[in-house]
Amino acid sequence: MSKPKVFVTRKWPASVEAKLKALYDVTLNEDDRPLSADEFRSALQNYDAVCPTVCDSFPADVINVDNKRCKILGNFGVGYNHIDINAAKAQGLIITNTPGVLTHSTADIAMTLLLMSARRGAEGDRLVRSKQWTGWCPTQMLSSDVTGATLGLIGFGRIAQAMARKAHHGFGMKIVYFKPSPADEYVVDDLNATRCESIEELLQIADYVSLHCPGGEATRHLINADKLKLMKPTAHLINTARGDVVDSAALIDALKNKQIAGAGLDVYEGEPNVHEGFLALDNVSLLPHLGSATLGTRTAMGEKVLANLAAFFAGESLPDRVV
Ligand code: DGY
């Protein structure tokens, strides 16, 4: 019997690509070139499974292509806001994702950005590299305390809770969170966490605000000019969720006018483009969507896709079915 045909849109860790080659008639993207909408349409027409990732856009006009052979999108990533879920549902196209395995690496990057922003790490690095540093002095580059400060988490799923544990048990931070329903008691007890009744309440009391909600229409510009006005002038905003959760232009204004002290960003509206306004500011730390970028995590993400494909082709129930 011929092997199922699988199309992978970007380069994956070598060990996972080797397994794909052994199991399937697979087309890999050896030179890791970003692909076009027409190439995705053609993949949907010619392969049994297509494995996109978070930087590949699958809107309705791609998913609705005629003469589709593909039955499953095995997404390499936990977020799936780049795929039109309603179109997929209507077309009977299955979607799976990779939850659970990128929790710690993403929480680590959120904590990295919090520390970089609080302690002006990126700015200090630029000072040294530019040979402008003239030596230690008591008032140079003063920054904000992290230990003992209040961390506010918007969204309180796996990644937010992992960050909260690092912040609370490692840095003695107080934890407040907003999520529509209260978190499990054992989580709240472990973190001595307090639930805010609203995002507005959280924004007013947190020294550091970290975003952990999914992307998509429902959360687009959740953090806008009005919300930024509620934050303390000493507060920092951290975003490892999705770029469009924050109105970039409003954040740039807030940073420029020192309405808030700083921001740390791993994700951007219109990624990989980054709003020019951020590049001119010293009080924002910018990373290139590194949340899950450890070899261990990316390998585990690939293994998750493999497990979903194996279940699909065996006619079994899918471990991580989204649609
Ligand atoms: C995801 O999986 O959604 C992450 O953003 C990748 O780092």
Percent of the chain predicted with pLDDT > 70 = 100
Cβ neighbours, 10 Å, residue 194: 14
Ligand 1 centroid to Cα of residue 44, in Å, is 22
pLDDT tens readout for residues 165-189: 999 999 999 999 999 999 999 999 9
Residues 60, 40 contacting (CB under 8 angstroms):
no
Q: What is the dihedral of CA 75, 274, 264, 229, to 10 degrees?
A: -110
What does the pLDDT average to over 74-81? 97
pLDDT tens readout for residues 94-125: 999 999 999 999 999 999 999 999 999 999 99
The answer to whether residue 30 is catalytic is: no
pLDDT tens readout for residues 185-229: 999 999 999 999 999 999 999 999 999 999 999 999 999 999 999
Q: Which residues line ligand 1 (CB under 6 A)?
A: 54, 77-79, 102, 289, 291-292
The answer to whether residue 275 is catalytic is: no
Return the closest-CA partner of residue 318 out of 96, 21, 89. 96
The answer to whether residue 242 is catalytic is: yes
pLDDT tens readout for residues 243-253: 999 999 999 99
pLDDT of residue 1: 79
- pLDDT band with cut points at 50, 70 and 90 for residue 161: very high
In terms of C-beta density within 10 A (0-12 exposed, 13-18 middle, 19 or more buried), how is residue 166 classed?
A: middle
pLDDT of residue 157 exceeding 90: yes
Q: What is the dihedral of CA 304, 264, 109, 174, to 10 degrees?
A: -110
